[in-house]
Structure 1
Protein backbone atom coordinates (compact mmCIF):
# COMPACT_ATOMS: atom_id res chain seq x y z
CA UNK A 1 0.00 0.00 0.00
CA UNK A 2 1.18 3.53 -0.81
CA UNK A 3 0.62 6.78 1.07
CA UNK A 4 1.10 10.45 0.25
CA UNK A 5 3.22 12.69 2.46
CA UNK A 6 2.31 16.23 1.35
CA UNK A 7 3.98 19.45 2.43
CA UNK A 8 6.05 22.36 1.25
CA UNK A 9 9.34 20.82 2.43
CA UNK A 10 10.98 24.26 2.39
CA UNK A 11 13.53 22.65 2.90
CA UNK A 12 13.21 18.99 3.84
CA UNK A 13 14.52 18.35 7.37
CA UNK A 14 15.62 15.45 9.54
CA UNK A 15 12.16 15.62 11.12
CA UNK A 16 10.56 15.03 7.73
CA UNK A 17 12.85 12.08 7.08
CA UNK A 18 12.01 10.65 10.49
CA UNK A 19 8.31 10.73 9.58
CA UNK A 20 9.07 9.10 6.20
CA UNK A 21 10.99 6.28 7.88
CA UNK A 22 8.15 5.73 10.35
CA UNK A 23 5.63 5.67 7.50
CA UNK A 24 7.69 3.03 5.68
CA UNK A 25 7.13 0.73 8.66
CA UNK A 26 3.41 0.90 7.85
CA UNK A 27 3.32 1.41 4.07
CA UNK A 28 5.17 -0.23 1.18
CA UNK A 29 5.83 3.12 -0.50
CA UNK A 30 5.75 6.81 0.43
CA UNK A 31 5.18 9.49 -2.17
CA UNK A 32 6.55 12.79 -0.93
CA UNK A 33 4.27 15.35 -2.57
CA UNK A 34 5.83 18.81 -2.57
CA UNK A 35 3.23 21.55 -2.81
CA UNK A 36 3.92 24.65 -4.87
CA UNK A 37 2.19 26.75 -2.16
CA UNK A 38 2.88 30.21 -3.56
CA UNK A 39 0.58 31.66 -0.86
CA UNK A 40 3.14 30.53 1.74
CA UNK A 41 5.89 32.40 -0.13
CA UNK A 42 8.43 29.55 -0.03
CA UNK A 43 12.07 30.44 0.50
CA UNK A 44 13.21 27.93 -2.13
CA UNK A 45 11.54 27.48 -5.51
CA UNK A 46 9.61 24.29 -6.24
CA UNK A 47 12.31 22.77 -8.45
CA UNK A 48 14.98 23.29 -5.77
CA UNK A 49 12.76 21.85 -3.02
CA UNK A 50 12.22 18.75 -5.15
CA UNK A 51 15.95 18.36 -5.84
CA UNK A 52 16.78 18.77 -2.14
CA UNK A 53 14.20 16.11 -1.26
CA UNK A 54 15.64 13.77 -3.91
CA UNK A 55 19.14 14.23 -2.50
CA UNK A 56 17.94 13.73 1.06
CA UNK A 57 16.09 10.49 0.26
CA UNK A 58 18.47 8.93 -2.27
CA UNK A 59 19.43 6.16 0.18
CA UNK A 60 15.87 5.36 1.26
CA UNK A 61 14.03 2.69 -0.72
CA UNK A 62 10.40 2.91 -1.80
CA UNK A 63 10.25 6.70 -2.01
CA UNK A 64 8.96 8.80 -4.88
CA UNK A 65 9.18 12.59 -5.02
CA UNK A 66 6.55 14.56 -6.94
CA UNK A 67 5.34 18.15 -7.04
CA UNK A 68 1.79 19.40 -7.20
CA UNK A 69 -0.22 22.60 -7.53
CA UNK A 70 -3.79 21.46 -6.96
CA UNK A 71 -5.98 20.22 -4.14
CA UNK A 72 -4.49 17.34 -2.20
CA UNK A 73 -7.66 15.29 -2.61
CA UNK A 74 -7.45 15.72 -6.39
CA UNK A 75 -3.83 14.56 -6.31
CA UNK A 76 -4.79 11.58 -4.15
CA UNK A 77 -7.59 10.62 -6.56
CA UNK A 78 -5.22 10.98 -9.53
CA UNK A 79 -2.77 8.54 -7.91
CA UNK A 80 -5.59 6.35 -6.53
CA UNK A 81 -4.22 6.77 -3.01
CA UNK A 82 -6.60 7.40 -0.15
CA UNK A 83 -4.12 7.65 2.75
CA UNK A 84 -2.17 10.77 3.68
CA UNK A 85 0.42 10.96 6.42
CA UNK A 86 1.25 14.11 8.34
CA UNK A 87 3.84 14.79 11.01
CA UNK A 88 2.86 16.29 14.36
CA UNK A 89 5.40 18.04 16.58
CA UNK A 90 3.18 19.85 19.07
CA UNK A 91 -0.43 20.50 20.07
CA UNK A 92 -0.49 23.56 17.80
CA UNK A 93 0.35 21.29 14.83
CA UNK A 94 -2.49 18.98 15.78
CA UNK A 95 -5.11 21.74 15.74
CA UNK A 96 -4.04 22.90 12.28
CA UNK A 97 -3.66 19.38 10.90
CA UNK A 98 -7.02 18.30 12.29
CA UNK A 99 -8.72 21.16 10.42
CA UNK A 100 -6.94 20.22 7.19
CA UNK A 101 -7.80 16.55 7.69
CA UNK A 102 -11.48 17.36 8.21
CA UNK A 103 -11.50 19.67 5.18
CA UNK A 104 -9.94 16.95 3.00
CA UNK A 105 -12.47 14.43 4.29
CA UNK A 106 -15.30 16.85 3.48
CA UNK A 107 -13.98 17.07 -0.09
CA UNK A 108 -13.53 13.29 -0.46
CA UNK A 109 -14.95 10.98 2.16
CA UNK A 110 -12.59 8.13 1.20
CA UNK A 111 -9.44 10.02 2.20
CA UNK A 112 -7.83 9.14 5.52
CA UNK A 113 -5.13 11.04 7.38
CA UNK A 114 -2.65 9.30 9.65
CA UNK A 115 -0.67 11.48 12.04
CA UNK A 116 2.86 10.42 12.94
CA UNK A 117 5.10 11.97 15.55
CA UNK A 118 8.80 12.40 14.86
CA UNK A 119 11.21 11.10 17.48
CA UNK A 120 11.82 13.44 20.39
CA UNK A 121 15.22 14.53 19.07
CA UNK A 122 13.53 15.84 15.91
CA UNK A 123 10.34 17.18 17.48
CA UNK A 124 11.44 20.82 17.52
CA UNK A 125 12.73 20.95 13.93
CA UNK A 126 10.72 22.92 11.41
CA UNK A 127 11.57 24.20 7.97
CA UNK A 128 10.98 27.77 9.18
CA UNK A 129 13.57 27.34 11.95
CA UNK A 130 16.04 25.94 9.40
CA UNK A 131 15.39 28.85 7.00
CA UNK A 132 15.90 31.40 9.76
CA UNK A 133 19.19 29.85 10.86
CA UNK A 134 20.41 29.55 7.25
CA UNK A 135 19.50 33.17 6.49
CA UNK A 136 21.62 34.28 9.46
CA UNK A 137 24.58 32.11 8.51
CA UNK A 138 24.07 29.59 11.31
CA UNK A 139 24.88 25.89 11.43
CA UNK A 140 21.96 23.61 10.53
CA UNK A 141 24.01 20.43 10.16
CA UNK A 142 22.11 18.68 12.96
CA UNK A 143 18.72 19.70 11.56
CA UNK A 144 18.87 18.66 7.90
CA UNK A 145 20.24 15.70 5.95
CA UNK A 146 23.96 16.11 5.28
CA UNK A 147 23.36 15.59 1.56
CA UNK A 148 21.57 18.94 1.22
CA UNK A 149 23.84 21.11 3.42
CA UNK A 150 26.02 22.41 0.56
CA UNK A 151 22.93 23.61 -1.33
CA UNK A 152 21.00 25.49 1.35
CA UNK A 153 22.70 28.87 1.22
CA UNK A 154 21.84 29.38 -2.45
CA UNK A 155 18.11 30.02 -2.97
CA UNK A 156 18.33 29.42 -6.72
CA UNK A 157 17.95 26.05 -8.35
CA UNK A 158 20.92 23.68 -8.35
Structure 2
Protein backbone atom coordinates (compact mmCIF):
# COMPACT_ATOMS: atom_id res chain seq x y z
CA UNK A 1 0.00 0.00 0.00
CA UNK A 2 1.49 3.32 -0.99
CA UNK A 3 1.55 6.49 1.08
CA UNK A 4 -0.83 8.11 -1.40
CA UNK A 5 -3.54 5.48 -0.74
CA UNK A 6 -3.16 5.80 3.04
CA UNK A 7 -3.45 9.59 2.95
CA UNK A 8 -6.53 9.44 0.71
CA UNK A 9 -8.19 6.99 3.13
CA UNK A 10 -7.32 9.26 6.06
CA UNK A 11 -8.75 12.23 4.14
CA UNK A 12 -11.99 10.31 3.57
CA UNK A 13 -12.18 9.40 7.25
CA UNK A 14 -11.55 12.98 8.35
CA UNK A 15 -14.24 14.22 5.92
CA UNK A 16 -16.70 11.72 7.37
CA UNK A 17 -15.87 12.75 10.95
CA UNK A 18 -16.16 16.40 9.92
CA UNK A 19 -19.60 15.82 8.40
CA UNK A 20 -20.76 13.99 11.56
CA UNK A 21 -19.49 16.86 13.73
CA UNK A 22 -21.25 19.34 11.43
CA UNK A 23 -24.52 17.40 11.66
CA UNK A 24 -24.31 17.23 15.47
CA UNK A 25 -23.47 20.92 15.78
CA UNK A 26 -26.66 21.86 13.90
CA UNK A 27 -28.86 20.00 16.42
CA UNK A 28 -30.72 21.87 19.13
CA UNK A 29 -29.78 21.34 22.78
CA UNK A 30 -32.75 19.06 23.44
CA UNK A 31 -31.92 17.00 20.33
CA UNK A 32 -28.33 16.60 21.53
CA UNK A 33 -29.59 15.39 24.92
CA UNK A 34 -31.93 12.93 23.19
CA UNK A 35 -29.12 11.67 20.97
CA UNK A 36 -26.84 11.23 23.98
CA UNK A 37 -29.54 9.26 25.84
CA UNK A 38 -30.16 7.10 22.77
CA UNK A 39 -26.44 6.34 22.42
CA UNK A 40 -26.31 5.56 26.16
CA UNK A 41 -29.22 3.11 25.81
CA UNK A 42 -27.51 1.48 22.82
CA UNK A 43 -24.27 1.05 24.77
CA UNK A 44 -26.15 -0.39 27.76
CA UNK A 45 -28.06 -2.78 25.48
CA UNK A 46 -24.95 -4.00 23.68
CA UNK A 47 -22.85 -4.41 26.82
CA UNK A 48 -25.67 -5.52 29.16
CA UNK A 49 -23.70 -8.53 30.39
CA UNK A 50 -20.80 -6.32 31.49
CA UNK A 51 -22.90 -3.44 32.85
CA UNK A 52 -25.48 -5.38 34.87
CA UNK A 53 -24.39 -6.18 38.43
CA UNK A 54 -26.05 -9.64 38.41
CA UNK A 55 -27.55 -12.17 36.06
CA UNK A 56 -31.25 -11.22 35.72
CA UNK A 57 -32.27 -14.81 36.54
CA UNK A 58 -30.17 -15.00 39.73
CA UNK A 59 -32.40 -15.21 42.83
CA UNK A 60 -31.97 -13.34 46.10
CA UNK A 61 -34.36 -12.68 48.97
CA UNK A 62 -37.68 -11.39 47.64
CA UNK A 63 -38.80 -7.79 48.22
CA UNK A 64 -35.40 -6.50 49.37
CA UNK A 65 -35.32 -2.74 49.78
CA UNK A 66 -32.87 -0.76 47.66
CA UNK A 67 -29.37 -0.97 49.11
CA UNK A 68 -25.79 -0.77 47.87
CA UNK A 69 -25.85 -4.40 46.69
CA UNK A 70 -29.22 -4.02 44.92
CA UNK A 71 -29.63 -0.39 43.85
CA UNK A 72 -33.30 -0.81 42.88
CA UNK A 73 -34.04 -3.70 45.23
CA UNK A 74 -35.44 -7.10 44.28
CA UNK A 75 -38.85 -8.16 43.03
CA UNK A 76 -41.27 -10.75 44.40
CA UNK A 77 -39.16 -13.59 42.96
CA UNK A 78 -35.91 -12.20 44.35
CA UNK A 79 -34.48 -11.05 41.01
CA UNK A 80 -32.38 -7.89 40.98
CA UNK A 81 -34.53 -5.16 39.40
CA UNK A 82 -31.59 -3.14 38.03
CA UNK A 83 -30.24 -6.20 36.21
CA UNK A 84 -33.67 -6.92 34.75
CA UNK A 85 -33.97 -3.28 33.67
CA UNK A 86 -30.57 -3.33 31.97
CA UNK A 87 -31.23 -6.60 30.12
CA UNK A 88 -34.75 -5.36 29.25
CA UNK A 89 -33.17 -2.45 27.38
CA UNK A 90 -31.85 -4.90 24.81
CA UNK A 91 -35.28 -6.44 24.21
CA UNK A 92 -36.99 -3.03 24.02
CA UNK A 93 -34.55 -1.72 21.42
CA UNK A 94 -34.80 -4.89 19.32
CA UNK A 95 -38.61 -4.69 19.32
CA UNK A 96 -38.54 -0.97 18.51
CA UNK A 97 -36.09 -1.30 15.64
CA UNK A 98 -37.89 -4.40 14.37
CA UNK A 99 -41.25 -2.61 14.33
CA UNK A 100 -39.76 0.42 12.56
CA UNK A 101 -38.06 -1.83 9.99
CA UNK A 102 -41.26 -3.80 9.31
CA UNK A 103 -43.32 -0.59 9.00
CA UNK A 104 -40.79 0.75 6.50
CA UNK A 105 -40.85 -2.45 4.44
CA UNK A 106 -44.66 -2.70 4.43
CA UNK A 107 -45.08 1.01 3.61
CA UNK A 108 -42.55 0.79 0.80
CA UNK A 109 -44.23 -2.27 -0.73
CA UNK A 110 -47.71 -0.69 -0.51
CA UNK A 111 -46.40 2.56 -2.03
CA UNK A 112 -44.60 0.76 -4.85
CA UNK A 113 -47.63 -1.39 -5.67
CA UNK A 114 -49.91 1.62 -5.55
CA UNK A 115 -47.65 3.63 -7.82
CA UNK A 116 -47.07 0.76 -10.25
CA UNK A 117 -50.67 -0.38 -10.73
CA UNK A 118 -52.33 3.06 -10.37
CA UNK A 119 -56.05 3.49 -10.89
CA UNK A 120 -58.31 1.22 -8.83
CA UNK A 121 -55.42 -0.57 -7.08
CA UNK A 122 -54.02 2.81 -6.02
CA UNK A 123 -57.39 3.91 -4.64
CA UNK A 124 -57.88 0.62 -2.74
CA UNK A 125 -54.40 0.54 -1.23
CA UNK A 126 -54.49 4.20 -0.23
CA UNK A 127 -58.01 3.73 1.20
CA UNK A 128 -56.74 0.77 3.25
CA UNK A 129 -53.81 2.90 4.43
CA UNK A 130 -56.20 5.69 5.43
CA UNK A 131 -58.31 3.21 7.44
CA UNK A 132 -55.23 2.04 9.35
CA UNK A 133 -54.26 5.65 10.04
CA UNK A 134 -57.75 6.48 11.35
CA UNK A 135 -58.09 3.56 13.76
CA UNK A 136 -56.45 4.21 17.15
CA UNK A 137 -53.59 1.83 17.87
CA UNK A 138 -54.84 0.10 21.03
CA UNK A 139 -58.18 -1.16 19.63
CA UNK A 140 -56.34 -2.17 16.46
CA UNK A 141 -53.85 -4.22 18.49
CA UNK A 142 -56.70 -5.87 20.41
CA UNK A 143 -58.50 -6.82 17.19
CA UNK A 144 -55.31 -8.10 15.54
CA UNK A 145 -54.40 -10.11 18.64
CA UNK A 146 -57.86 -11.71 18.62
CA UNK A 147 -57.35 -12.95 15.06
CA UNK A 148 -53.72 -14.02 15.41
TM-score using structure 1 length: 0.19
Larger radius of gyration: 2
The structure showing larger relative contact order (alpha-carbon pairs under 8 Å, at least 6 residues apart) is 1
Q: If each structure's helix is expressed as a fraction of its own residues, which one has the higher value?
A: 2
TM-score using structure 2 length: 0.20
Q: If each structure's strand is expressed as a fraction of its own residues, which one has the higher value?
A: 1
